[in-house]
């Protein structure tokens, strides 16, 4: 396939560097909080399990993420590579957000991803737990958007 618009680089099979790149690309996209943009990383018939919700397809992903970011305000996310093999990547993540009453949370989780041969995610399984925190316990203070390259990782933050 020579048309770059039909590829989502990097492509599987993943090596360490390409897996790291794929994870950071996903983190960067999610930190835009732009549901349409995020959905473009997934196949048109992508299957998700997010907590106890089951989704199929980009339209469902856009609806889900739109609702998520209406609830999870000032959302900031860090993802970290856990493992990879062939066309699969496992990540761990933590994100901070607050609700409309000003209650802060840190949500922790793991995701398992499977990609098609064109680099689009066709399967996403996410397990997530929420921990209410005090605003003074927040660890993510960068301006909304992409996490700065010099910001500590999850491991650096011991999360």
The answer to whether 127 and 92 are in contact (CB under 8 A) is no
115 three-state secondary structure: strand
**73 occurs within a structural domain:** yes
**119 occurs within a structural domain:** yes
Tell me what the mean pLDDT of segment 14-29 comes to.
98
**Torsion from C-alpha of 10, 11, 15, 16, nearest 10 degrees:** 30
CA distance 88 to 126: 14
**144 occurs within a structural domain:** no
Averaged pLDDT score across all residues of the chain? 96
Tell me what the mean pLDDT of segment 140-146 comes to.
97
**Whole-number pLDDT of residue 3:** 45
**158 occurs within a structural domain:** no
Give ∠ CA 94-141-107 in degrees, rounded to 5.
20
Instruction: Give tens-digit pLDDT for 114-127.
Output: 999 999 999 999 99
The answer to whether 84 and 16 are in contact (CB under 8 A) is yes
Instruction: Please state the domain count of the chain.
Output: 1
**3 occurs within a structural domain:** no
**Whole-number pLDDT of residue 5:** 61
**Whole-number pLDDT of residue 69:** 98
| pLDDT over 90 (residue 81) | yes
CA distance 84 to 98: 32
Note down the domain range covering 58: 9-137
CATH number for the domain harbouring residue 51: 3.10.450.50
**Whole-number pLDDT of residue 34:** 98
**Whole-number pLDDT of residue 79:** 98
Residue that the structure tokens 């409309």 belong to: 100
CA distance 157 to 140: 10
| pLDDT over 50 (residue 2) | no
User: What are the C-alpha distances in Å from 9 to residues 12, 22, 41, 131?
Assistant: 9, 8, 10, 34
Tell me what the mean pLDDT of segment 136-159 comes to.
97
**27 occurs within a structural domain:** yes
Tell me what the mean pLDDT of segment 44-68 comes to.
97
**1 occurs within a structural domain:** no
- In this prediction, residue 111 has a pLDDT band, given cuts at 50, 70 and 90, of very high
Spatial strand order in the sheet of 88-98: 53-56, 42-50, 121-133, 104-115, 88-98, 73-85
- In this prediction, residue 23 has a pLDDT band, given cuts at 50, 70 and 90, of very high
Which tokens in the block code for residue 16? 């360490």
Tell me what the mean pLDDT of segment 88-112 comes to.
98
């Amino acid at each position: 396939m020579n048309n770059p618009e039909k590829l989502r680089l990097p492509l599987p099979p993943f090596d360490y560097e390409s897996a790291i790149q794929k994870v950071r690309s996903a983190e960067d996209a999610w930190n835009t909080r732009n549901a349409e943009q995020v959905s473009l990383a997934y196949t048109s018939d992508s299957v998700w399990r997010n907590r106890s919700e089951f989704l199929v397809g980009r339209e469902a992903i856009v609806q889900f993420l739109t609702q998520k970011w209406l609830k999870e305000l000032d959302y900031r996310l860090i993802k970290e590579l856990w493992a990879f093999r062939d066309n699969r990547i496992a990540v761990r993540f933590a994100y901070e957000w607050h609700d409309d009453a000003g209650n802060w949370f840190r949500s922790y989780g793991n995701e398992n991803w499977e990609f098609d041969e064109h680099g689009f995610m066709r399967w996403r399984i996410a397990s997530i737990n929420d921990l209410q925190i005090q605003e003074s316990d927040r660890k993510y203070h960068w301006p909304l958007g992409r996490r700065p390259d010099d910001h500590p990782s999850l491991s650096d933050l011991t999360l």
